[in-house]
Structure 1
Amino acid sequence: MSKTVTVIDTFGFFFRSFYALPSHLKNKDGFPTGLLTGFTNFISTLQKQHDSDYIIFAIDTKGNTFRNEIDPNYKANRKAPPEELTMQLPIAIEWIDKMGYKTLGKVGFEADDIIATVTHFAREKNYDVRVVSHDKDLYQLIDDGKVVVVDAIKRKSMDEDACFDKYGVTPKQFIDYQSILGDSADNVPGVKGIGKVGAEKLLVEYGTLDNIYANIDEIKPPGVKNKLIESKEGAYMSKELVTLRDDVLDEFDFEEYKMDIEHPFLNIYDELVKYEQNAILRILHAKNMVSNLTHQEAVKKVEVEIQETRKLNFKATLITDEKELDRVLSTLDRDTIVAFDTETTGLDYEKDNLVGFSFSFNDTEAYYVPFAHFYLGVPEQISLDDAKVAIKKIFNSKVVGHNVKFDLHFVTRFLGDDSLDIYADSMILAWLINPESALSLDKLADKLLNHTMVAFKDTVKKGETFAGVEVEDACKYAAEDAFITLKLYNLFLEKLELQGADYLIEESLHVEVPFIKTLLKMEKEGIEVNSAFLEKFLVDVKETLGELTKSIYALAGSEFNINSTQQLGVILFEHLGLPVGKKTKTGYSTNEQVLSSLEDKHEIIPKLLEYREVYKLYSTYIEPLLKLSREDKDSRIHTSFVQTGTATGRLSSKNPNLQNIPTRTRLGSKIREAFVAGNGKKLIGIDYSQIELRLLAHFSQDRVLVDAFTQDKDIHMQTAIALFGEDEAASKRNVAKTVNFGLLYGMGQKKLSETLGITTKEAKEIIEKYFDSFPTVRKYFRSIVDNSKEFGYVETLLKRRRYFDYENATPMFRAAYERESVNSLFQGSASDLIKLSMNKIHKVIEDERLNAKMLLQIHDELIFEVYEDEAEILGYRFKEIMENIKELHIPLKASINIGNNWSELK
């Protein structure tokens, strides 16, 4: 039986219930309660009326949305809601959380976009969806048998028939219906002078808005035709405004929104009394849930119930006495597994400071040691010197953390000691077990231990830091982190053994944990940025954007929002009449691929491509990098590397992301000039050559590939010879290169045809010829897919696994899994090799105290900073390590470049 998702249009529902119930409802203090009453009535009947597996409360966030960029007048004339309503809204939102449910919103989007996105993810999983709202904007989502819109006040469901009965159009036509009709409440213009009847007639006859305008000359009467012509721009802008976005989130975990809360009202019992929600209180008493109890006793009963059902029992012990701390630590020895966690004033390890630390080494107790809490009446704490001694004692044992790199940043700075050893990281173990699972401590505790952790927001007041938390409350929060870390660590060891993958415990000890310290060092080093260069570049880029904007407007014949894909589509394919590529549900596609295919069709296209490149560099890189460089005394950028950020094992980076700066464009290269070597130093770039193709040769042992790499031949030329013959090989080398790499990433004939600008028939012939030329490769690819289906996973060079749930996958997902199984093997194995190289080089630099710093890893490339006179010697030494890091059937090869800035490392 299919699972069901209930999505609430939260503010819409609150407004609806406010106006549906008597406005005079107030408690004895005169506080309005109509909205709250409607909400509690809804929650009380939720299980009966909405028997559901998951429930999501979609909310609007403060500020403008992307629709205000399309039209600044959007919702500009909405009246402020009544004060009685706004007084109750924050309470109702708080109740959602307190009762155990969850809200979901995103800045820049409306709740309706969140609902559309959740619906999209639900449909991918073949879940049924109930959207609780009376807002007709959501009717476009209705899909009989899968998605219905429910008015919770009228208790009526809207399906396709109900939509047609009410408006005379189907849900699939509803966007176009609203585009014609408009919405005066939201300032959506529509087509002036055409109302509901007219819009219905037009869509019944012509089906879609596009078809209406395609047949504009035959539309009668002339008055309707003229109105449509005059308001065409308004109609299509309205379409942009009313079309819901279903891509607001990159991913969505329904398990976070399970509708398994048995007694939600017990969690807000005192507030139900305060706001005189007597109907609900009578039900609670009738069920003997709070019978004959005082309010305080009722709350205590709730706490006990939660403790029994959602809490693991352990003792959280606060230590503020040096002798007691010394006594507890004296029981540790070198083989004791100790879970360790820190509490800090913030997340920036360069600016924020340690407040205390927690640790746990058994199944019954965890400890919190405060030493830098600061508030009025704070009790005596452990001294800074004693705290340092204690942490060093803990690190003499086998320390386990959860995302321990974060803690190490603070602890190593606090102690002035970079030599601390760590034993394990429970987050890395969770990632090794399933690289696509949620990895945060609270989510893992909830999912695997059935334990709800104390929330940070319930511990630290808004606008304050952990230093201001009373030490007793801090102890409950912090000790739990250490206790749960230890619990999860032991559980993960069992899970890996049960999976028959206990060798990954060794991989963690010898590769992943050392890699933490490698990354830690790199993050601390950072890379120097030439701020003066960036400032000048910023001015130049702003001028370039201004000039490009003027040119684009001139070539288009009108001004429009260049960043709006919908408006751009109208300009290109209607005003300028360019050939239409592909269309999306929201209009014409204007992605880079579409624009590139039109490059020689109109001079506006190269300008648009250049504008997009420049704008992305301006907004995503130049401004953020300049800000970060100004904040650092040495003008160094310190990115954060994420070891567990991808399913394949490829390293990612954030704050800022330095892995995705464009490489093949003039401006992308230009921005790399800003990353420089210090005075008297050089940057070294060492890049693995064709590493994934070499891995293909290693794994498949295809004779042609192995011979080509063993004899150091040009693999792309060898492929071109095999595909096109000796005469055409030189001119077709780039085609062969695209095929070589494309097939590793699951590129099919359609994608290959688009990439090369050839027909799908030609692309199919090339792929068939490739596999005929390399039959062992075809066989090996097939074996990867077959094994992934048989065992449910693929393994990389270091035996890391990525799992694929073929049994529960739709045909579309099964096809994706087949592609990803091949990609994961090669990309994951390449990640293994560079990780091994980084660890080895880091150890050599540390052991020999070399004057070298490893700064960045950009996929298959490593970047170092060294003194100028040692650059060549050290560069070739590091290159040799990379080329000999693991013995394969073919030689590994790396190229080396030395320069003054990143751009010169070509």
Structure 2
Amino acid sequence: MQKLIIVDTFGFFFRSFYALPPLQNSQGFPTGLLTGFANLIMKLYKSNPHDYIVFALEGGGRNIRKDIYKDYKANRQETPQELLLQLPIAIEWIEKMQLIKIAKEGYEADDVIASLAHIAKAKGIRTHIISHDKDLYQLIDDEVSLIDPVRQVEIRQEQCQQKFGVPPHLFIDYQSLVGDTSDNVPGIKGIGAKSACKLLEHFGSLDAMYAREDELEAVIGKRLAHTIKEQKSSALLSRKLVSLVKDLPLDVDFQALAMPEKNPLLLILDELTRYEFTKIIQRLSGEPMNVKHEAASKPKAQPTQPLESTSAQFHYTAHTLWRLEEIQALLAPLPKDTKIAYDCESTGLDTRKAELVGFSFCFDGENAYYVPVAHTYLGAPSQLSLADTKAALELLFSYPLIGHNLKYDLQIAKKLGISPKREIYDSMILAWLYDSASKVGLDEQMHKWFNHTMISFSDALGGKQDFSQVSIESATEYAAEDAAASFRLFYAITHALESKNLSHLNALAHDLEFPFIQVLMEMEGCGISIDTEYFQALLARFSKELLALEQEIFTLCNDVFNLNSPKQLGSMLFDKLGLKAQRQIKGGYSTDEKTLQALLNAHPVIPKILEYREISKLKNTYVEPLLKHNDNGRIYTSFLQSGTATGRLSSKNPNLQNIPVRSEQGRLIRAGFRAKSDDYTLLSIDYSQIELRLLAHFSQDSALIEAFCKGLDIHLQTASILFSPEQAQEKRHIAKSINFGLIYGMGARKLSQTLDISFSEAKSYIQSYFDFFPSVKAFLQSKEQEILHNGYAQTLLGHRRYFDFSYATDFMRANYLREGVNTIFQGSAADLIKMAMLQIHSHIQGSNIAMLLQVHDELIFELPKQNALESAKEIAHIMDTIYPLAIPLESTISLGDSWADLK
């Protein structure tokens, strides 16, 4: 079906200008806007060969909204000179490419867009508007959507709801309440986004709100209710200003708007040559000259090496800034959308203890600046005061920020009361999305993309105690390099993803992974309360039990040896006691758990050794580290966003995701995690059978879908199908092992070991399962073929995990396929819970509810006992409706005073 593509021309030009780093040709003429425009034309031509395209422009003459409100758009910032130089050239290019542009005197481009979309709808033509302008959200419906040209993401009704909290049909009323500072639309003073959403959710519209003014005080409070009534005229005026005109008399010939058969860029080759767009010209050299363009076939596996790793050059100039005025002078001319790379230096890695020593920033990829703050070595010169440091950071953080592992830098700044006011970007997260199996440290990534060796931290530190003792001269070189590298790396990976048709990963980063950084920061800063006395008592108990077990083992063996030495234990069991060795390993005998379990009845010492190991693990792996990390009765873990290839979060210092769930000993550990006071409770919300639900969604198996939609016990249903209704309850555990095992690549041999049955019996169970669920088997086989063909597995949201089959042995190949299929399910589950966490984070802002932990499919919260169940149901609803699957998502709620009570 053909669609109309409307380009919000100036909106795109401004967005493109600020999104790209400052570019210029060899003559010094700025080319960033023109580069973005040429790339847009290339993409639109390749992706939409049969569609209509038109460019909407501002009309000349007096803006009709000025007649309504003289101060409309009165506070617009002055347009940068570099942008002004490129605008007329870009407009001229539209004409030279023989594309159509439309403007209407007295009206804005947005009015032209609204009218064009209205005309297209009357003809049954869908509309895509190339713009991210929020003023156009009011046009979104089933037939009209926005396309953010930089992030390459489609903005539909659900995105409007997620971003602003209101559907598109209420967006005019929403803007009438909150106003718009960029256009000087007054709105109602004191009404922000949350208040506006609350009002519109209750009343349904602006008119209904003013028709039922008597309800305002109960909904919004006395003070704001008075303000709303007092400023009614301002709200109604604002509605006139933001409402777009949909009935402009436009003479539109859709045939004239059809995408040309030849690439329009071919008509401006001389211009592209003049401005030195070498790569675009090279791409055009392969374009068909006289045939209708055909869409390219889907690319095969993307290589893990970047396109230009050896040709790209990295160089920078380091500067030291000593005064606040110098920083202000540098930043003042920058447009507020300028992305600035930021990095800080501190006294250590633990953000709770580390202190800021200095910070660096870069906004052009060439010059990087270091600001010393707290170098304390003998003879160190005077540096920025605390007040000026805060002022400088406030200024820096008013711009969009780029960082590499930015979470750390933001946490250090947060200790000074400074938080980002704009978007945040992380080149480490981008590197991980580009190739989740590679090392994502700045040093490794700069070598990978620029063949550049960074100054190592150990060289910069030079044996000093911490960074505060490093000379400011050396610190400047080191810190400035980090900022410049983060800047260049971010753009290198962003452009590589675009050039490889992986723009969806840029969108995933912008929509989910970058905002998710702030969710993790808040969770890490909150921590979780523990009962210190309980763990100290547990430590004493375990120590006593280990000592007693050790004596029992020595008595049974009639000898004393090092129980924690596998070599000495193996010698005791197999040489001295004469037990049958299961397998030899380098340096002696295997004494792993599998070996000891096989010998369980061979000698009375074996159960004692296994018990000793379990208690020893609990003591050494959990109790002692938890007490070591105890900080005034709370434990603060660190979450790693890029720590796994599948997309799952991991946890460290200490790891709170590896505490045993089902064992009685694991319950002992979890019992020590408590709510912070008697008035509070812990809450667990856990996705129920999330991987199996994803299997049903992906495979579209009718039996699985029916079972989930009807809320049936899926394992009981499977047992009933595989065996008989009469045997279902008895055989449920077998069905459960098969249901989950297939997702994780379990074969007949593994199933036989898990259930302690024969190989042939396990094989027959799996065969019967696939006979009853043929679409599941077909799906799993198709995914293995896709992974082999493409070289990657892909999650629900498009996160990829790559595998190199080039030199893989049969064993490696089988392992890759197993990991690949596992990634589809585990990674998709990670996608869902991250999306849910992001929305929950927004939902609980300003409340007494704290999100403490994420343990894979489970979230742990701390909240007041009063109304706890109601709050839990609200959060569960977010989790259950976060993404539309073929079957309903379902989460389970559990409340309790300790973590052990939450099951």
Whether these two folds match at TM > 0.5 is yes
Q: Distance in 2 between matches of 1:605 and 1:739?
A: 31
2:592 aligns with 591
2:536 aligns with 535
1:387-419 CA-to-partner distances (Å, cap 9, x unmatched) read: 2112122222211100000001100111x1446
Following TM superposition, by how much is the alpha carbon of 1:311 offset from its aligned partner in structure 2, in angstroms?
8.0
1:333 aligns with 335
Following TM superposition, by how much is the alpha carbon of 1:573 offset from its aligned partner in structure 2, in angstroms?
4.2
2:605 aligns with 604
Q: Specify whether residues 478 and 588 from structure 1 end up closer, same or farther in structure 2 by C-alpha distance, changes over 3 A only.
A: same
Q: Distance in 2 between matches of 1:558 and 1:500?
A: 67
Q: Distance in 1 between matches of 2:318 and 2:455?
A: 12
Q: Specify whether residues 569 and 365 from structure 1 end up closer, same or farther in structure 2 by C-alpha distance, changes over 3 A only.
A: same
**Pairwise mapping of residues 96-111 of structure 1 onto structure 2 (< 5 A)?**
none
321-330 vs 337-346, which moves further:
321-330
1:788 aligns with 787
Q: Specify whether residues 583 and 740 from structure 1 end up closer, same or farther in structure 2 by C-alpha distance, changes over 3 A only.
A: farther
Checking the alignment, whether the CA contact within 8 Å between 2:464 and 2:470 is kept in structure 1 is no
Q: Distance in 1 between matches of 2:387 and 2:530?
A: 36
1:47-70 CA-to-partner distances (Å, cap 9, x unmatched) read: xxxxxxxxxxxxxxxxxxxxxxxx
Letter paired with 1:835: K
**Pairwise mapping of residues 193-212 of structure 1 onto structure 2 (< 5 A)?**
none
1:668 aligns with 666
1:767 and 2:766 matched? yes
1:757-788 CA-to-partner distances (Å, cap 9, x unmatched) read: 12222222222222122111110000111011
597-606 vs 779-788, which moves further:
597-606
The SS at the match of 2:730 is: coil
**Structure 1 segments (4+ residues) deviating >6 Å:** 308-311
Checking the alignment, whether the CA contact within 8 Å between 2:397 and 2:419 is kept in structure 1 is no
The SS at the match of 1:400 is: strand
**Pairwise mapping of residues 191-340 of structure 1 onto structure 2 (< 5 A)?**
312-340=314-342
Percent identity over the alignment is 47
Letter paired with 1:711: K
1:863 aligns with 860
2:551 aligns with 550
Q: Specify whether residues 517 and 445 from structure 1 end up closer, same or farther in structure 2 by C-alpha distance, changes over 3 A only.
A: same
**Pairwise mapping of residues 310-459 of structure 1 onto structure 2 (< 5 A)?**
312-414=314-416, 416-418=417-419, 420-459=421-460
Letter paired with 1:337: K
The SS at the match of 1:674 is: coil
Q: Specify whether residues 608 and 499 from structure 1 end up closer, same or farther in structure 2 by C-alpha distance, changes over 3 A only.
A: farther
Q: Specify whether residues 375 and 456 from structure 1 end up closer, same or farther in structure 2 by C-alpha distance, changes over 3 A only.
A: same
1:15 aligns with none
Q: Which runs of 5+ in 2 are unaligned?
A: 1-309
Checking the alignment, whether the CA contact within 8 Å between 1:333 and 1:396 is kept in structure 2 is no
Checking the alignment, whether the CA contact within 8 Å between 2:686 and 2:857 is kept in structure 1 is yes
Following TM superposition, by how much is the alpha carbon of 1:575 offset from its aligned partner in structure 2, in angstroms?
4.4
Q: Distance in 2 between matches of 1:620 and 1:854?
A: 25
2:49 aligns with none
Q: Distance in 1 between matches of 2:581 and 2:718?
A: 35
Letter paired with 2:668: K
Letter paired with 1:665: S
Following TM superposition, by how much is the alpha carbon of 1:561 offset from its aligned partner in structure 2, in angstroms?
2.5
Following TM superposition, by how much is the alpha carbon of 1:526 offset from its aligned partner in structure 2, in angstroms?
0.2
Q: Distance in 2 between matches of 1:421 and 1:810?
A: 49
The SS at the match of 1:646 is: coil
1:820 aligns with 819
Checking the alignment, whether the CA contact within 8 Å between 1:882 and 1:894 is kept in structure 2 is yes
Letter paired with 1:766: Y
TM-score (norm 1): 0.64
1:694 aligns with 693
Q: Distance in 1 between matches of 2:811 and 2:775?
A: 27
Checking the alignment, whether the CA contact within 8 Å between 1:706 and 1:890 is kept in structure 2 is yes
1:681 aligns with 680
Checking the alignment, whether the CA contact within 8 Å between 2:787 and 2:793 is kept in structure 1 is yes
Following TM superposition, by how much is the alpha carbon of 1:455 offset from its aligned partner in structure 2, in angstroms?
1.3
Letter paired with 1:851: N
2:52 aligns with none
The SS at the match of 2:683 is: strand
Following TM superposition, by how much is the alpha carbon of 1:709 offset from its aligned partner in structure 2, in angstroms?
0.7
**Pairwise mapping of residues 730-879 of structure 1 onto structure 2 (< 5 A)?**
730-846=729-845, 849-879=846-876
Letter paired with 2:747: G
Q: Specify whether residues 594 and 732 from structure 1 end up closer, same or farther in structure 2 by C-alpha distance, changes over 3 A only.
A: farther
Q: Distance in 2 between matches of 1:798 and 1:514?
A: 16
Checking the alignment, whether the CA contact within 8 Å between 2:629 and 2:653 is kept in structure 1 is no
Letter paired with 1:594: T
Following TM superposition, by how much is the alpha carbon of 1:582 offset from its aligned partner in structure 2, in angstroms?
4.2
Q: Distance in 2 between matches of 1:545 and 1:826?
A: 40
Checking the alignment, whether the CA contact within 8 Å between 2:563 and 2:569 is kept in structure 1 is yes
Q: Distance in 2 between matches of 1:800 and 1:880?
A: 25
604-613 vs 510-519, which moves further:
604-613
Q: Distance in 2 between matches of 1:571 and 1:727?
A: 50
2:891 aligns with 894
1:15-34 CA-to-partner distances (Å, cap 9, x unmatched) read: xxxxxxxxxxxxxxxxxxxx
Q: Specify whether residues 732 and 558 from structure 1 end up closer, same or farther in structure 2 by C-alpha distance, changes over 3 A only.
A: farther
Checking the alignment, whether the CA contact within 8 Å between 1:698 and 1:890 is kept in structure 2 is yes
Q: Distance in 2 between matches of 1:351 and 1:420?
A: 25
Following TM superposition, by how much is the alpha carbon of 1:704 offset from its aligned partner in structure 2, in angstroms?
1.2
The SS at the match of 1:446 is: helix
The SS at the match of 2:629 is: helix
Checking the alignment, whether the CA contact within 8 Å between 1:412 and 1:420 is kept in structure 2 is no
**Pairwise mapping of residues 75-94 of structure 1 onto structure 2 (< 5 A)?**
none
1:349-375 CA-to-partner distances (Å, cap 9, x unmatched) read: 222211111000113211111111112
The SS at the match of 1:339 is: strand
Checking the alignment, whether the CA contact within 8 Å between 1:545 and 1:611 is kept in structure 2 is yes
The SS at the match of 1:497 is: helix
2:70 aligns with none
Q: Distance in 2 between matches of 1:486 and 1:419?
A: 17
Following TM superposition, by how much is the alpha carbon of 1:735 offset from its aligned partner in structure 2, in angstroms?
1.7
Q: Distance in 1 between matches of 2:487 and 2:626?
A: 38
Q: Specify whether residues 693 and 350 from structure 1 end up closer, same or farther in structure 2 by C-alpha distance, changes over 3 A only.
A: same
Checking the alignment, whether the CA contact within 8 Å between 1:338 and 1:397 is kept in structure 2 is yes
**Pairwise mapping of residues 157-168 of structure 1 onto structure 2 (< 5 A)?**
none
1:162-217 CA-to-partner distances (Å, cap 9, x unmatched) read: xxxxxxxxxxxxxxxxxxxxxxxxxxxxxxxxxxxxxxxxxxxxxxxxxxxxxxxx
Following TM superposition, by how much is the alpha carbon of 1:563 offset from its aligned partner in structure 2, in angstroms?
2.2
Following TM superposition, by how much is the alpha carbon of 1:717 offset from its aligned partner in structure 2, in angstroms?
1.1
1:507 and 2:508 matched? yes
Letter paired with 2:373: F
1:639 and 2:637 matched? yes
Q: Distance in 1 between matches of 2:590 and 2:703?
A: 41
The SS at the match of 2:727 is: helix
Q: Distance in 2 between matches of 1:363 and 1:514?
A: 24
Q: Distance in 2 between matches of 1:737 and 1:577?
A: 39
The SS at the match of 2:866 is: helix
Following TM superposition, by how much is the alpha carbon of 1:749 offset from its aligned partner in structure 2, in angstroms?
2.0
Following TM superposition, by how much is the alpha carbon of 1:600 offset from its aligned partner in structure 2, in angstroms?
4.1
**Pairwise mapping of residues 617-636 of structure 1 onto structure 2 (< 5 A)?**
617-629=618-630, 632-633=631-632, 635-636=633-634
Q: Distance in 2 between matches of 1:752 and 1:580?
A: 25
Q: Specify whether residues 716 and 584 from structure 1 end up closer, same or farther in structure 2 by C-alpha distance, changes over 3 A only.
A: farther
The SS at the match of 1:675 is: coil
1:651-696 CA-to-partner distances (Å, cap 9, x unmatched) read: 1000000111112222211011111101111000111110000000
Q: Specify whether residues 613 and 869 from structure 1 end up closer, same or farther in structure 2 by C-alpha distance, changes over 3 A only.
A: same
The SS at the match of 1:558 is: coil
The SS at the match of 2:359 is: strand
1:280-299 CA-to-partner distances (Å, cap 9, x unmatched) read: xxxxxxxxxxxxxxxxxxxx
Letter paired with 1:730: Q
2:654 aligns with 656
2:131 aligns with none
The SS at the match of 1:732 is: helix
Q: Distance in 1 between matches of 2:727 and 2:555?
A: 43
Letter paired with 2:457: F
Checking the alignment, whether the CA contact within 8 Å between 1:329 and 1:390 is kept in structure 2 is no
